[in-house]
Structure 1
Amino acid sequence: MIKPRRIFTYAFLIGASVISIFPFLWMVVSATNKSVDVTKGRLLPGSHLMENIRNLTSQVDIMNAMMNSLKVSVVTTLLALLISSLAGYGFEVYRSRAKDIVFNILLLSMMIPFASLMVPLYRMFASASRTVPTIGIDTLTAVVLPTITTAFLIFFFRQSTKMFPKDMLEAGRMDGLSELGLFFRIYMPTMKTTYAAAAIITFMASWNNYMWPLVVLQSPENQTVPLVISTLGSSYSPDYGVIMSAIVIATVPTALVFFLMQKHFVAGMMGSVK
């Protein structure tokens, strides 16, 4: 016999799950309906999905925007994992009073909102445009560089490294491995769940990044997915069916990354080391 307390727990979890998944289901259903049906709040699937996709491709180059977002997100993720894990590993394995002070300063930088950094960053990249155009304004490189490492990721890797068995490093040193060899051949394979969790967080944040690309990207051919979707919604009479279909398409890569790596994500967030 099921206890009343457990029934209440299951009912609460089911209700919370329905509330959490409803916006996603409504988005998918709305992508199959006309704009007028979306504004009326229709909750039944329609037959206009392909029509909405055709209208979307005729209005904006969504595939080019997807490729731009994919380039930015993949490069940002790879560089962020490498640099942040090196920093977190160094802060934890090679402890000193000076390093702790630097780490505390890094943590304090998390209190600075990114909006306050956009003007000096823009001026810096505008200056770079005159000397090194490939990293200047209106380039994907300018979107990547300010986000390849964050204080949060460094903190995340340092905290996870606390669980790392230091005896493995000593054994590697006795076998003649260099310090970089210890990192790449022992630390990285052992901390794969931490890397998976950090990869999901970084990829999703980079894919959904809107503010900085809006400031630094000016050409339509360089726009990322969030900018294209924003353009669709800024018209005088937006077609909500088209907008919802664009959002569904934009959600697919992040959903795939999360579902493929969700087991490692949970283990990495719990700080387990395998």
Structure 2
Amino acid sequence: MNMALLRRSATYVLLSLAAFISVFPFIWMALGATNKSNDIVTGRLSLGSNLLVNFQNLLAQVDLVRVFGNSFLIAIISTLLTLAVSSLAGYGFEIFRSRVRERVFQLLLLFLSIPFAALMVPLFVLISRAQLNNTFIAVILPTIASIFIIFYFRQATKAFPGDLRDAARVDGLKEWQIFLFVYLPTMRSTYAAATIIVFMGAWNNYLWPLIVLQTPENKTITLVISALTAAYTPDYGVILLATVLATLPTLIIFFVLQRQFVQGMLGAVK
């Protein structure tokens, strides 16, 4: 009994320590957003009285409405298109059988080993020749067919009950109707988990938007924060406040969908 209690106590202590280590950077960032730049540099870890001043300075330097609007537009459209295309591909790879299916899928997985740095130049040339440079389409288009999300949906589709699909066929449903009216509602936890992954990736995307978005009107929040840090005398209070604001959308989406996220990652199907 004592040994079991000791193990449980040790487990809770380790989990609490891990949780504190994970949350501490955000706590420090939130506290820093309320302090002056000099206080942040000296390592002050307490609430300050400079939050309103930092917010006013941020508004003076950044058009928050436009920047957040750009980020939301790119992230939402990228998420919707990626989920539509990648879930269809994952469903098709698992449901429809052919001789070349596994070879094509293995080839896709092989492409995951290619770093994005090796694709930047040819991708930029392709976007430029298509006259899509400095547009949101240039940012969204390369992310639609995500190999990882295709792989994720294919693995999740393995848990999709075949009896449901057979029953739907008996009832006269076509394949696209089975996908829309049977597969989608059944795999909602998988879609929730994929939504969090894709949205966070699109929202935090930095390198590719930095290359193709060249005018201030099209900048996203990640590019703006990077520009703030590149100043000759950076105001760390303003930077941390902008970072906190940029983090809030992903936190909200995660907390709203966290239960479905856990179920989706565990492969739960209802």
Stretch deviating more after TM superposition (183-192 or 7-16): 7-16
- 1:25 pairs, out of 21, 24, 27, with 27
Q: 1:14 corresponds to which letter in structure 2?
A: S
1:174 is matched by which residue type in structure 2? Answer: V
1:57 aligns with 59
State which of 73, 76, 81 in structure 1 corresponds to 2:75: 73
1:203 and 2:203 correspond? no
Overall identity of the aligned pairs, in %:
54
- Matches of 2:118 and 2:192 in 1, distance apart? 30
Q: Which of 212, 216, 228 is the aligned partner of 1:220?
A: 216
Aligned to 2:123: 121
Counterpart residue number, 2:49: 47
2:166 matched to which residue of 1? Answer: 170
Aligned residue in 2 for 1:148: 144
**Out of 97, 100, 110, which is 2:99 matched to?**
97
Alpha-carbon deviations, 1:47-72, whole Å to 9, x = none?
11111011011012122111101000
Q: Output the CA distance in 2 between the equivalents of 1:58 and 1:69.
A: 19
Q: Is the 8 A contact 1:197 1:265 kept in 2?
A: yes
Q: CA deviation at 1:35?
A: 0.3
| Displacement after TM superposition at 1:103 (Å) | 0.5
**Displacement, 1:97?**
2.3
**1:251 is aligned to 2:247:** yes
TM-score (ref. length: structure 2): 0.98
Contact 1:28/1:248 (<8 A) preserved:
yes
1:97 is paired with a residue whose SS is: coil
Mapped partners of 2:85, 2:263: distance in 1:
22
Q: Which amino acid aligns with 1:127?
A: R
Q: Deviations over 1:178-207 (max 9, x none)?
A: 110110010011000000000000000000
State the alpha-carbon separation in 2 of the partners of residues 244 and 5 from structure 1. Answer: 39
Flag structure 1 segments of 5+ consecutive residues without an equivalent. 130-135
Deviates more, 1:91-100 or 1:68-77: 91-100
Please tell me whether the aligned partners of residues 62 and 228 of structure 1 are also in contact (alpha carbons under 8 angstroms). no
- What is residue 262 of structure 1 aligned with on the other side? 258
Give the residue type in structure 2 aligned to 1:112. Answer: I
Aligned-residue CA RMSD in angstroms? 0.9
Q: What TM-score results when the alignment is normalised by the length of structure 1? A: 0.96
1:16-75 deviations in Å (ceiling 9; x for gaps): 111111000000000000000010110000011111011011012122111101000000
Structure 1 residue ranges (4+ consecutive) displaced by more than 2 angstroms after TM superposition:
none
- Give the aligned partner of residue 132 of structure 1: none
Give aligned pairs, total.
Answer: 268
Distance 1:5 1:90 in 2: 46
Q: Which residue of 2 aligns with 1:233?
A: 229
Aligned to 1:133: none
Residues 111-130 of structure 1 deviation map (CA, whole Å, 9 limit, x = unaligned): 0111111111110111111x
Give the aligned residue type for 1:48: N
